[in-house]
Amino acid sequence: MVNDQQSGSITIKTKSVNQKHPIEALRKVGQMKKQQFWIILVYILLSIVMIGCTAAATEIFPQETEQEMIAKPPVDEIEEVEEVSEDNDRLQDEEGISSEARFTITADSVLQGPITELYEGFFEGETPVFVNADADLIATRSISINTGRPTFEATFLPGFVLLPGSESLDVRRFINFAISPEGQQVLIDAGELPAVISITDQAGNSLEIQQPLQRVISAFGPATSIVYSIGAKETLVAASYTGAGDPQGASVMERIDPRFPTLASDDFFSRQNFNIEEAAILDPHLIIGSARSSWLDVVDQLGISVFLMDAETPQQLQETVNLFGEMFGPHSSAQAQAWIEYYDFIITEIADQMGDLSPEERVKVLFTGTEPLRVASGDMYQTDMIEAAGGISVSADLLGFWNDVNLEQIAIWDPDIIIVPPYGGASVEAITESTEWQILTAVQNGRVYRMPRLVAPWDTPGPDSVMGIVWMVERLYPGLTAFSCESEAEYFYNTFLNYAISGDEIAAICLVE
């Protein structure tokens, strides 16, 4: 071994001596030193530049998002509270110590304890006045009426709601407080609500979630849609959105939620990407992601709860909405239940109103993708929607995801209706204005439609998809059911997104091109 090594190094020496004159070799050593110096200099310079870059980047990509996000939601609350206390002072200044309560409350005896806690938490130093009838505020067990579209009231404890009995501003404020995270905190402190809930997400992981849930990062567009439609948007600190990437979607989203521009962070958090450093800055209590996200391992290392959702079928979607309701507290839970009831209501009503259609009478539907020759498979949510709307998906035998087919296959299917999605540059014209497609009955009859959207496309598995079913049944069987896109859209966005959708917007969405 030792011998080998020596002989090896000797060979090298003789070789280099043979090649170069000794003096030259010496000069070479000097140059080598110089060379090393340059290399190191370059590395150090690059490191400095990079440190500079990071600093600049953190300045450019706003750090203040964080502060704004923390500051913004409480600002309203604080102002409100201050207003209240100012009112208080004024009242007391004008009338001395007011013995008159702000409003009267009717409550079951079991509810009087929690109501008192809430009342004392909101109007400091005051006690509530309970009466038996003609109260300004009624706390009662919620009654579900299973006819027509569901409604939901301010649910402050599971199964119990607060109903206003007068128009008083204090009553409204009190109700809002009772269902806000602050009000929920009061009830948790009083032992009326659990401080921690355990839940199993749709990837099968069980997690413990602190109540009331706040500071949520939603790293998956459909998850964000669900959070919005169960009235929990105030809990978000950053979110990925579906359909809000273009100016049109973004402007609607901004009307739905003024915080949208600061919340939108698809660059940082999406199904493909998760910027863990940015997440650490936001200090979230919960991260919601898709079970198919590729970033799960690393996020686990931060020690933050991660809820993974997987909603690709109607059943899974309902389950997801239900789980979200459980996580976000009693009021969101009631709203989630209302959404599930509405979904069931639409599906059963459509089935009832259509009666028994024979397979021959059913409309054959082709759902195409971002390219006209790309069609939805039977495994996709779009197929479930077509079936819920009483149609038959001609491409239901295909498996997997979007499938590429040729025009001959589509001609064999001969669909009655073709639906194109509202994303990825898909357009009705790409089909109707192409000469080859004229051979199809659907094209000849002008029955090629584009699926609408408000923000999220109505064919993505999210809360809005129920609107997609309503719209589809109207296209498939005009006049056969009592549903209209216009009236359901008005109900849906007012009820679940608390968004006063304008007549023009409804007309634009439901307009058939």
Q: Rule CB under 8 A: which residues touch another protein?
A: 3-5, 7-9, 11-12, 16, 19, 28, 31-32, 35-36, 38-40, 42-43, 46-47, 50-51, 53-54, 57-58, 61, 265, 267-268, 270, 272-273, 275-278, 280-281, 283, 292, 294-298, 300-304, 400-402
Question: Smaller CB distance to another protein: residue 61 or 500?
Answer: 61
Rounded to the nearest 5 degrees, what angle is found at the Cα of 166, between the Cα atoms of 163 and 169?
A: 95
* Closest residue by Cα to residue 150 from 338, 337, 343: 338
Q: d(Cα 357, Cα 378) in Å, to the nearest integer?
A: 21
- What's the closest the beta carbon of residue 298 comes to another protein, in angstroms? 6
Contact indicator for 226, 335 with CB cutoff of 8 Å: no
- What's the closest the beta carbon of residue 32 comes to another protein, in angstroms? 6
Question: Smaller CB distance to another protein: residue 62 or 191?
Answer: 62
Question: Smaller CB distance to another protein: residue 397 or 429?
Answer: 397
Residue 250 — left, alpha, or beta (φ > 0 → left; ψ -120 to 50 → alpha)? alpha
Residue 359 — left, alpha, or beta (φ > 0 → left; ψ -120 to 50 → alpha)? alpha
DSSP 290-335: ETT-S-HHHHHTTT-EEEEE---SHHHHHHHHHHHHHHT-HHHHHH
- What's the closest the beta carbon of residue 48 comes to another protein, in angstroms? 10
- What's the closest the beta carbon of residue 241 comes to another protein, in angstroms? 15
- What's the closest the beta carbon of residue 23 comes to another protein, in angstroms? 15
Number of Cβ within a 10 Å radius of residue 87:
14
- What's the closest the beta carbon of residue 164 comes to another protein, in angstroms? 42
Question: Smaller CB distance to another protein: residue 326 or 371?
Answer: 371
Question: Smaller CB distance to another protein: residue 179 or 398?
Answer: 398
Q: d(Cα 247, Cα 265) in Å, to the nearest integer?
A: 15
Question: Smaller CB distance to another protein: residue 54 or 348?
Answer: 54
Which run of H or E residues covers position 56? helix 22-60
Question: Smaller CB distance to another protein: residue 173 or 285?
Answer: 285
Contact indicator for 425, 370 with CB cutoff of 8 Å: yes
Q: d(Cα 142, Cα 154) in Å, to the nearest integer?
A: 9
- What's the closest the beta carbon of residue 353 comes to another protein, in angstroms? 34
